[in-house]
């Protein structure tokens, strides 16, 4: 296990289409986070899972966004009816109670 893995690394989609991103955390980590980062800004918290339970959702996560973590392993983030304002880097991170958050390399979404 070499770290947090995200797929795809890049996604270009047309406005109005749905997209889904996948995150595979470090295997022993029970905490999983999604963040969004726009150009020139710091990452912004979107949502947090502890095992399979989604414990917090940011107000940034509109109802077009949904995240899941079935069986407490990998996670998916889906964006429905994408808008140009959704263009950003979507970062996944994992951790546990006694470790810091380790980030993946992100999925860069471009909505055209």
Partner 1 sequence: QQQVKQSPQSLIVQKGGISIINCAYENTAFDYFPWYQQFPGKGPALLIAIRPDVSEKKEGRFTISFNKSAKQFSLHIMDSQPGDSATYFCAASPSYKLIFGSGTRLLVRP
- Shortest approach of partner 1 to residue 97 CB, angstroms? 9
- Shortest approach of partner 1 to residue 92 CB, angstroms? 8
Q: Within a 10 A sphere around the Cβ of 61, how many other Cβ atoms?
A: 19
One of 11, 43, 65, 86 touching partner 1 (CB under 8 A): 43
Strands 44-50 and 53-57: antiparallel
Task: Check binding of 52 to partner 1 (CB under 8 A).
Answer: no
Angstrom CA distances, 46 to 25, 35, 60, 91, 101, stand at: 16, 5, 6, 10, 14
Task: Check binding of 4 to partner 1 (CB under 8 A).
Answer: yes
66 phi/psi in degrees, rounded to 5: -145, 140
Of the pair 4, 19, the CB lying nearest partner 1 is at 4
* Residues in contact with partner 1 by the rule CB under 8 A: 4, 31, 33, 35, 40-45, 48, 50, 56, 91, 93, 95, 100-106
């Amino acid at each position: 296990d070499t770290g947090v893995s995200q797929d795809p690394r890049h996604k270009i989609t047309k406005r109005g289409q749905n997209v889904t991103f996948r995150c595979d955390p470090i295997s022993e980590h029970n905490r999983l986070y999604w963040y969004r980062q726009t150009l020139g800004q710091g990452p912004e918290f979107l949502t947090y899972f502890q095992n399979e339970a989604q414990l917090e959702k940011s107000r940034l996560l509109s109802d077009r966004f949904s995240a899941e973590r079935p069986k407490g392993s990998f996670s998916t983030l889906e964006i429905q009816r994408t808008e140009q304002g959704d263009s950003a880097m979507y970062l996944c991170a994992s951790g546990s109670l006694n470790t810091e958050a380790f980030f993946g390399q992100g999925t860069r979404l471009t909505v055209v």
